[in-house]
Amino acid sequence: MTPHTVSGSRGLLQAEPLLFEIGDVHRTGVDLPAPKGVDRLGGLKRKAALDLPGLTEPEAVRHYVRLSQKNYAIDLGLFPLGSCTMKHNPRLNERLARLDGFADLHPLQPLSTVQGALELMAELAHWLMELTGLDAVALSPKAGAHGELCGMLAIRAALEARGEAETRRRVIVPSSAHGTNPATAAACGFIVDEVGATEDGHVDLEEFKQKLGDDVAAVMLTNPNTCGLFERDVKTIADLVHAAGGYFYCDGANYNAIMGRVRPGDLGVDAMHINLHKTFSTPHGGGGPGAGPTVLSQALAPFAPVPHLVRRDDKSLALIEHADDASSAPFGRMCAFHGQMGMFVRALAHMMSHGADGLKQAAEDAVLNANYVLARLKGHYNAPFGDQPCMHEALLDDSTLRANGVETIDLAKALLDEGYHPFTTYFPLVVHGAMLIEPTETESKRELDRFADVMIALAERAAAGDSAFFKAAPQHAPTRRLDEVKAARQPKLRWKPEEASARAAAE
């Protein structure tokens, strides 16, 4: 039963309406004289009042604190969201990122005053190239998807330099790929050609071979793939695409599973983005854009975007900002400045505090934890590829539960009531009703067992036929089950005062 209270609050979790509903355009939280002559912004003149809601300071503070308490966070509990690598962000990294010398820099400061920061970027680039065995790195992309764009633009530039941009238009993408891969290829003007998966969750090598031809620009492959499996044929795939004159883009979002164990450069990768927020434990988008540096092979290095970090004769560092000043052929630039300094500091702090051996162990522990979860759960859920060890993610599906009327979405909602953010649902698309669980290396055995115990109890409840329990979940979350299809198809993107007052009157 829904806990019902007079106030709508649940225990100490306060009910909270929208800012527009608690504020009032005729109220203000500050006591300043009415501004004069500020109805202009450049050549634009304000025609009507902005109608922003005014609140007292405590109302404003409470509004955001109440909302923040409805949030789930990695600092609150295990966050098993597969493919996202939600792991603990060590506080040491945060401390270093807040040092004045890094946090207070302005991107237009004279280079002579930012040598320490540039040195840090050079050191980070060195670590990334050493770890991946690749020749160059563009630090500026601001997310994994942005890094994909960077890599694919480098490939397009390389094809243009070869005079083959018009003829090599096709990019081969596996059916299990993350949605950003085909989106990036299409955004760069390529034609996306899907290659299927085998029964055991790998790229279908025979079908891949048939797709090769002199119109192929590249293959985009994730390794380990989104089924949480290592693509054993990766070297063959690289050799084949190279022999056909194409490039190998590797989606490096899952690099956290193989870091220190294998160098992508040795596998024949030409371009790969690295999600610092996944592998190197910087917050996901926390406090600003993320960072998705892209490593490039010798073949693509000349096309790396500006700015380029270069060491002068006097050993000081400089940034080459314009393509005309570069000794190579940059395809352009990815963003206004040099990238996300705060993320660079956190990532390098993470690397240096772990050391090379520690990073390797982090990857091994991530794989060990996922295999532990898989081993505990596969007797209770169907594990489509459970007869082989997984990498950093355990993949289950709802096929054994559907007969009892319980589906992946119902389990995800029931997990909310148990105090967990759900696993990734319905991805990868190649598995019907997929549940993708990524525990990461930062969870202890105790936490993994606690989570597995909950998952097992839920599976038993579903097996006992209690579908009503699942359909009613979540019972304890701030909002009950939403009509997600309607929310996606007919999103309400504007708050309208009339609707709000009509609703208040109806209540």
Q: State the residues that interact with ligand PLP by CB under 6 A.
A: 83, 143-145, 178, 180, 222, 226, 251, 253-254, 275, 290, 292
By beta-carbon proximity to ligand PLP, the closer residue of 170 and 178 is 178
For 151-172, the three-class secondary structure string (H helix, E strand, C coil) is HHHHHHHHHHHCCCCCCCCEEE
By beta-carbon proximity to ligand PLP, the closer residue of 86 and 296 is 86
Per the listing, tokens 């352009």 go with 332
By beta-carbon proximity to ligand PLP, the closer residue of 286 and 478 is 286
Q: How far is the CB of 251 from ligand PLP (least distance, A)?
A: 5
Q: How far is the CB of 143 from ligand PLP (least distance, A)?
A: 4
By beta-carbon proximity to ligand PLP, the closer residue of 152 and 452 is 152
Q: How far is the CB of 181 from ligand PLP (least distance, A)?
A: 7
By beta-carbon proximity to ligand PLP, the closer residue of 178 and 202 is 178
By beta-carbon proximity to ligand PLP, the closer residue of 23 and 80 is 80
- For the chain, the straight-line distance linking the first and the last C-alpha, in angstroms and rounded, comes to 20
Element (H, E) at 100: helix 100-103
By beta-carbon proximity to ligand PLP, the closer residue of 159 and 436 is 436
Q: How far is the CB of 461 from ligand PLP (least distance, A)?
A: 31
Give the residue nearest to ligand PLP (CB).
144
Positive or negative, the CA dihedral 354, 355, 360, 361 is negative
Q: How far is the CB of 280 from ligand PLP (least distance, A)?
A: 12
**Ordered alpha helix ranges (H), 378-466:** 408-417, 445-463
What is the number of helices (H) and of strands (E) in the chain?
16, 14
Q: How far is the CB of 294 from ligand PLP (least distance, A)?
A: 12
Kindly state the tokens that stand for 459: 């599976």
Q: How far is the CB of 194 from ligand PLP (least distance, A)?
A: 16
DSSP 33: P
By beta-carbon proximity to ligand PLP, the closer residue of 292 and 339 is 292
| DSSP string for 208-252 | HHHH-STTEEEEEEESS-TTS---TTHHHHHHHHHHTT-EEEEEG
Per the listing, tokens 């109220």 go with 27
Q: How far is the CB of 441 from ligand PLP (least distance, A)?
A: 16
Positive or negative, the CA dihedral 133, 134, 139, 145 is negative
Q: How far is the CB of 86 from ligand PLP (least distance, A)?
A: 11
Residues 6 or more apart whose CB falls under 8 angstroms from that of 282 comprise: 89, 93, 276, 290, 291, 342, 343, 346, 347, 350
By beta-carbon proximity to ligand PLP, the closer residue of 253 and 455 is 253
Q: Which of 55, 87, 90, 61 is nearest to 74 (CA)?
A: 87
Q: How far is the CB of 414 from ligand PLP (least distance, A)?
A: 25
By beta-carbon proximity to ligand PLP, the closer residue of 251 and 443 is 251
The answer to whether the CB of 237 falls within 8 A of the CB of 206 is no
DSSP 461: H
DSSP 459: H
Positive or negative, the CA dihedral 326, 327, 329, 334 is negative
DSSP 406: -
